[in-house]
Amino acid sequence: MSQNKLRSLPTELGNIRSLKVLNLEDNLLSSLPESLGDLTNLQELCLDRNPLQTLPAHLGCLRQLKKLTVPLDSLLTPQRDVCEGGISSILSFLRRAGNIPDEIELNPAEPGSQSPSPSTSTYEEPFETTDSAFYAHQLTVKRRHNENLHKELVAAQKAEALAAQRALKSRNSVLNQLVEEGSRNEAEVCLLQKRRDARRRELLSNLRDAESHADELIRRLCEANEAVYKREAEWEAAQTEVLNHSLTTGLSQSSRLAILDSMQETLRASEAVIARQNRSRDSAKQQLHTDKVDSEKALTKVLDSRHLDKLDLTARIANEEADQKEAFRRLQELRDLQSQRIIQEIRLVEQELCRLTQAEQERKRTSSQQAISSLAEQRGKLLQLLQSLQKAKDRRETELQNRLVELEARKLRDQTDYWLVQYQRLMDKKPVALFSVQLIDPDVYKILEAADAIDYAANFEYHRITSDMLMSFTDADLLQIGVYTLGTRKSILRVLEEYISKQKLELPEPSAPPQDLPSAPPPPLSKPADFEDDEQLPQPSAPPLPPILARFESECCVCQERGCSIIFLPCGHVCCCGTCASHLDQCPLCRCTLEQCVQLST
């Protein structure tokens, strides 16, 4: 039955009781039936080269078995050392596994239970002799095995002793390392504690500086307001008298055109800012909803429409009195010293609130619980001062509006150029404070002043023209920024050439003044003609203050993307942007219920 690729054997195979030789080599048997144990006369059983993993325990009943081959590579039960002990060792193992006694009675009905024939009886003696020799060999093998086990045990004990010695040394080394590391950690903790104490002292010093700075600012602002209100009242009376002064002579045609040009420039600058904002907003909307081609077409239409509207507005300015009045109102607000003073004081208070908020955030990050009440008291004083300044600003705007109403009621019916005259009067009384906030480059202003082209300063300021950019300007560039008068362009180019030549001659020496000095002396304060005999015109309302650095958190504490732009009332913290503040009911820093949100003016 060998080499037949058998995968299983039938159970009925155990009924062939007289079978003596069974060769099952080179098959695919993975298991054997228990009925093979019933082949009591079986003497040879060949199972090699089969994927067997276990032998059935009932094979222990095969007492006549003399030859047995098994696949040692795949066989798991019995183990390899048992199989190497021979047939007796394997059968003994199977008997113990199956609880089969060493001697069993044979059934008289079975063929093998008949009295042995002469050939059978002659066979039993050599079998017993072979079995005794096998047992003697087994004893020798066991003795040698015990000796090997003893040697292995002694070697294992020595290895364990050596390993224990090594473990003791390693443990001592680890303990020493832990002691050294603990010392280093203790030193680092001491160093960190010292740094933390120094940081705490620095924070407390900053808090004290912030408190003293806020107290000084409040004191100065209060003293300045008390001292300046009287002078501002006198200045307002003088200004009102000048603005209400009636014209004795009419305007000439040339002066009328000059004033109209100046008003057009003012309105053009305002309209340019509005147009730029509208263009930016419209461009963003078109870019989200249409493709590039449609966006360009729509933008072109919008620009054309804006250009036509601007031309139409410029044409109507010369004839419509309402537009002239609006231009006068805008210029009056820009020239008003009291409004500028109030705005400046509001900015100082807002910067101080930002500084106190940043100091409190640093205190919370370092877990310092000091100066809480003092900071809250400072914020309360600053908030009261800010609210009073806001009310003063609103009151001043109302006063200016009422003044316009009074002037309009008192003007003569036949005086059609009334607002033009008032506009020119304000232009003639340009205060020093206005020069200090101009955005035009000082060198560009000098060139325009030398070229008698100051009227076009707004064009250069709007286009952010610097002195370096002006060096490479041509006649076409001047036309592009709105200088349309031929004589003025030639004059600017001539003065520019002289300026460049002078710069080349002075090249060995530094061409720019030191950084800490102003690049040009401030223009003198011009007094109205009606007050030439007065000793002095009112000076800026607030005394000079040291520069204030608003060291506040530049990022919103909620979204961490946009800058802080909202003051929370009544706590006074400045820690959120406008978008995040619109969704909040409590201050993120102090959890105070919000009553009002004030937009920063800076």
Instruction: Give dist(CA 565, CA 575) in Å, integer.
Output: 8
Greater confidence, 248 or 147? 147
How much is the pTM? 0.32
What pLDDT, on a 0 to 100 scale, did the predictor assign at position 532?
A: 36
- Higher per-residue confidence, 304 vs 110: 304
Give the per-residue pLDDT at 133. 75
Q: Does the pLDDT value for residue 336 go beyond 80?
A: no
Please tell me which residue, 324 or 121, carries the higher pLDDT value: 324
DSSP assignment of 188-237: HHHHHHHHHHHHHHHHHHHHHHHHHHHHHHHHHHHHHHHHHHHHHHHHHH
Does the structure show a pLDDT above 60 at 436? no
User: 181-204: per-residue pLDDT in tens?
Assistant: 989 999 999 999 999 899 888 888
User: Of residues 198 and 548, which shows the higher confidence score?
Assistant: 198
Return the structure tokens found at 290. Answer: 């249409």
More confident residue, 309 or 388: 388
Asked which of 92-106, 113-127, 150-164, 348-362 is least confident by mean pLDDT, the reply is 113-127
Bigger pLDDT: 415 vs 336: 336
Per-residue pLDDT band for 324 (boundaries 50, 70, 90) equals low
Bigger pLDDT: 447 or 225?
Answer: 447
Q: Which domains does the chain have, with CATH numbers?
A: 11-114 (3.80.10.10), 434-511 (1.10.150.50), 553-602 (3.30.40.10)
Share of the chain above pLDDT 90, in %: 7
pLDDT band for position 410 (cuts 50, 70, 90): low
- Cβ neighbors of 440 (< 8 A, separation 6 or more) are 457, 460, 461, 465
pLDDT band at residue 46 using 50, 70 and 90 as cut-offs: very high
* Whether the Cβ atoms of residue 45 and residue 71 lie closer than 8 Å to each other: no
Whether 165 shows a pLDDT value over 60: the answer reads yes
Higher pLDDT, 65 or 274: 65
pLDDT of 552-582, one tens digit each?
A: 446 888 888 888 888 888 888 888 998 898 8
424 or 445, which is more confident: 445
Average confidence (pLDDT) over 205-217:
83
* Band (526; pLDDT cuts 50, 70, 90): very low
DSSP 408-469: HHHS-TT-TTHHHHHHHHHHHT--HHHHHT--S-HHHHHHHHHTT-GGGHHHHHHTT--HHH
Is residue 129 pLDDT above 50, yes or no?
no
Cα 262–Cα 265–Cα 266 angle in degrees, nearest 5: 90
Task: Supply the pLDDT for residue 187.
Answer: 92
**128: pLDDT strictly greater than 60:** no
Q: Band of the pLDDT at 424, cuts 50, 70, 90?
A: low
Considering the chain, what percentage of its residues have pLDDT values greater than 70?
68
Residue 194: per-residue pLDDT? 92
Q: Considering only 14-28, 243-257, 313-327, 449-463, which range has the smallest mean pLDDT?
A: 243-257
pLDDT confidence of 179, banded at 50, 70, 90?
very high
Q: How far apart are CA 76 and CA 552, in angstroms?
A: 79
Burial class of residue 185 (count of CB atoms within 10 Å of its CB; 0-12, 13-18, 19+):
exposed
Tell me what the mean pLDDT of segment 432-460 comes to: 75
Taking residues 57-83, report their average pLDDT.
Answer: 87
Q: Coil, strand, or helix at residue 586?
A: strand
Q: Is the pLDDT of residue 108 over 50?
A: no
Q: How confident is the model at residue 247, as a pLDDT?
A: 43
Three-state SS for 476? helix
> Is residue 313 scored above 70 in pLDDT?
no
Q: Give the pLDDT of residue 493.
A: 92
For the ranges 1-10, 83-92, 360-369, 375-384, the lowest mean pLDDT is seen at 360-369
* CB-CB contact of 593 with 586 (8 Å): yes
pLDDT at 77 over 80: yes
DSSP labels, 37-103: GG-TT--EEE--SS---B--GGGGG-TT--EEE--TTT--BS-HHHHHT-HHHHHHHHHHHHT--SS
Mean predicted lDDT score pLDDT of the chain: 74
The sign one gets for the Cα dihedral 95, 100, 105, 108 is: negative
Residue 296: the pLDDT is: 63
Torsion of CA 52, 57, 58, 64, to 10 degrees: 80
233-237, 321-325, 344-348, 439-443: range with lowest mean pLDDT? 321-325
Name which residue leads in pLDDT, 538 or 479: 479
Among 135-139, 225-229, 372-376, 592-596, name the most confident range: 592-596
pLDDT tier, 466 (very low <50, low <70, confident <90, very high otherwise): confident
CA distance 258 to 75: 117
Which of 529, 522, 470 lies closest to 495 in space, CA to CA? 470
- Please return the burial class of 352, using the count of CB atoms within 10 Å of its CB with bins 0-12, 13-18 and 19+: buried
